[in-house]
Structure 1
Amino acid sequence: MAKGSNLYFFYKKDEELEQKLKPLFNLAEENGFNIVEDHQEANIIVSVGGDGMFLQAVRKTGFRQDCLYTGITRSGEEAGLYCDFNLDQFDEMVHSMMYEELEVRRFPIIEADVNGDSSFYCLNEMSMRSTIIKTIVLDVYIDDIHFETFQGDGLIVATPTGSTGYNKSTKGAVVDPKLPCFQVSELASLNNNRYRTLGSSFILSGDRKLSLKLVQDGNDYPIIGMDNEALPIRNIHNLDIRLSDKVIKTIKLKDNSYWERVKRTFL
């Protein structure tokens, strides 16, 4: 990584963390990096605080295509699936960035079109769930062909990297992020003579379009989760979901592959 790169740090502001970051800012500047206050000026966006903060950093900075993202976990936290570095070893990160002991990996993201007029991006997953104590009913289409009618608590649509999160907790598969695809998993489906679903997760090629159409049966205000945020739209009728042409480029240590991270996290 060339000297003179602009670094923007994304983190939850608190006095203790600010004090811990000051020497790291100084270390970066001593090694020829510039700390900037505006993320739009950054070549590298650094989140501090684990995978949840990394997701927030990507979302709040607009899923930028012209910069690199990397994550640092705080002291005492386990390394995450998106975070290669720890706050206690920031000097190792600076050394790696200076001497190019890094690789760039590209994580796929999904794009959700809401009601045909608003698009949103997700790095981890999108979920559509009931907000009341009542099941939600969704017509599921693949490439505009009706596939099933779902009744239950909701559906999760996960990227390959997001397959280790909410999706995994519902017994979905863990997917290699080198596969351009997305996965659909059920939340407590009810199968009976009227409604019948596949009953298992299924994986769609990146060339497919998934459409979810809300059946108006009195539960007409579902909640839409985009990564770790709720979508501020109440009146949702349908979602069209695709794998986006965009990717998130992240800094990767050469000896820290995705499957090494999965093993470290779960095994």
Structure 2
Amino acid sequence: MEDRRKLYFFYDEKDETVFSKMQPIYTMLEEKGFTIMSQPNEANAIISVGEDGTFLQALRKTGFRNDCLYAGVSVTDETSFYCDFHIDHADKALAEITHTEIEVRKYPTIHVTIDDETSFYCLNEFSLRSSIIKTFAVDVFIDDLYFETFRGDGLVVSTPTGSTAYNKSLRGAVVDPMLPCYQVSELASLNNNSYRTLGSPFILSGNRTLTLRIAPGDSSYPVMGMDNEALSIQHVERVQIQLSDKPIKTVKLKNNSFWEKVQRTFL
């Protein structure tokens, strides 16, 4: 772990319980030769303390860096996909990391561009929904192919790791993160003699580009979600989505593969 000695911790310092638990952990780490950084720029390991939502926020606030290692520390006993450690077992986690040969696990991310102006990354999913109580129409293109016109409540585009989140509640497939791909799922599509969509989730290769063109009358106030954060942009015409070249690197521990996490969480 010599190349991961500069650590930055991301958590809510106003949470007095978490704050008090972190102080002895800082002391223990510094005694073991680690440096606790006040800013994430120079850290080579960024550690979120909270739950999966905190992990997602840590990625966004630190710029989805792919030149460092990310790790999650849980503060509750609930099952978590991104938190491999627990705040009450810091000594055990440190021993496992420093005395065991760890592997680096890479999670795919997607890159989203709005009208060729605003762009960002997502680790779980990007969602596009109507902001008013009515269906809206979106023309769906795969590369240069016009595929369908979706009419309904919205669309969710998820990564393989995000396939266990919002996507799964839409009856999407759970996808192995070793596959370079992303998935498109529908939110309450309207299917009748006048309107028709595929009616099921579909998976795209990482080499494909997905383009969503919002119908002019529906583009004024779309609701867009990037992981667990909302994005507010008015008069959106086109959203382009691709698998990014910036995978997130995390710790791979023994008996803690993606599928072991799926088994623990859902079975």
What band does the TM-score fall into relative to the shorter chain? over 0.9
Deviations 1:27-50 (A, max 9, x none): 111111111110112110000111
What residue number does 1:12 align with? Answer: 12
What residue number does 1:169 align with? Answer: 169
- Alpha-carbon distance, 1:254 to partner: 2.4
What residue number does 1:248 align with? Answer: 248
The letter for the 2-side match of 1:37 is S
- Alpha-carbon distance, 1:218 to partner: 4.6
What residue number does 1:159 align with? Answer: 159
With over 3 angstroms needed to count, the CA separation of the structure-2 counterparts of 1:251 and 1:216, relative to structure 1, is: same
- Alpha-carbon distance, 1:171 to partner: 0.4
Aligned equivalents of 2:133, 2:120: Cα separation in 1: 27
Question: Could you tell me whether the CA contact under 8 Å between 2:222 and 2:233 is conserved in 1?
Answer: no
Q: Residue 92 of structure 1: SS of its match in structure 2?
A: helix
The letter for the 1-side match of 2:103 is E
- Alpha-carbon distance, 1:121 to partner: 0.5
Aligned equivalents of 2:165, 2:81: Cα separation in 1: 10
What residue number does 1:86 align with? Answer: 86
Deviations 1:73-124 (A, max 9, x none): 00x3324111111111111221122124321000000001110122110000
The letter for the 1-side match of 2:43 is A
Identity of aligned residues (%): 58
Q: Residue 132 of structure 2: SS of its match in structure 1?
A: coil
Question: Could you tell me whether the CA contact under 8 Å between 1:135 and 1:219 is conserved in 2?
Answer: no
- In the TM superposition, what are the counterparts of 1:250-265 in structure 2 within 5 Å? 250-265=250-265
Question: Could you tell me whether the CA contact under 8 Å between 1:110 and 1:242 is conserved in 2?
Answer: yes
For structure 2, the 5+ residue unaligned runs are none
Aligned equivalents of 1:3, 1:178: Cα separation in 2: 25
Q: Does structure 1 residue 28 correspond to structure 2 residue 32? A: no
Q: Single out whichever of 148-157 and 93-102 deviates more from structure 2.
A: 93-102
Question: Could you tell me whether the CA contact under 8 Å between 1:154 and 1:187 is conserved in 2?
Answer: yes
Q: Does structure 1 residue 102 correspond to structure 2 residue 102? A: yes
What residue number does 1:213 align with? Answer: 213
Aligned equivalents of 2:176, 2:27: Cα separation in 1: 37
Aligned equivalents of 1:111, 1:33: Cα separation in 2: 33
The letter for the 2-side match of 1:39 is P
- Alpha-carbon distance, 1:4 to partner: 6.9
Aligned equivalents of 2:4, 2:10: Cα separation in 1: 19
With over 3 angstroms needed to count, the CA separation of the structure-2 counterparts of 1:263 and 1:91, relative to structure 1, is: same
- Alpha-carbon distance, 1:193 to partner: 2.5
Question: CA RMSD for the aligned pairs?
Answer: 1.3
What residue number does 2:73 align with? Answer: 72
Q: Single out whichever of 124-133 and 215-224 deviates more from structure 2.
A: 215-224
Runs of 4+ residues deviating >4 angstroms: none
Aligned equivalents of 2:68, 2:254: Cα separation in 1: 19
Question: Could you tell me whether the CA contact under 8 Å between 1:101 and 1:254 is conserved in 2?
Answer: no
Q: Residue 246 of structure 1: SS of its match in structure 2?
A: coil
For structure 1, the 5+ residue unaligned runs are none
Aligned equivalents of 1:88, 1:200: Cα separation in 2: 43
With over 3 angstroms needed to count, the CA separation of the structure-2 counterparts of 1:137 and 1:167, relative to structure 1, is: same
What residue number does 1:145 align with? Answer: 145
- Alpha-carbon distance, 1:175 to partner: 0.2
Question: Could you tell me whether the CA contact under 8 Å between 2:49 and 2:74 is conserved in 1?
Answer: yes
Question: Could you tell me whether the CA contact under 8 Å between 2:140 and 2:213 is conserved in 1?
Answer: yes
Aligned equivalents of 1:161, 1:96: Cα separation in 2: 24
- Alpha-carbon distance, 1:202 to partner: 0.3
Aligned residue-pair number: 266
Aligned equivalents of 2:226, 2:53: Cα separation in 1: 12
With over 3 angstroms needed to count, the CA separation of the structure-2 counterparts of 1:118 and 1:164, relative to structure 1, is: same
Q: Residue 63 of structure 2: SS of its match in structure 1?
A: coil
What residue number does 1:202 align with? Answer: 202
Aligned equivalents of 2:39, 2:67: Cα separation in 1: 15
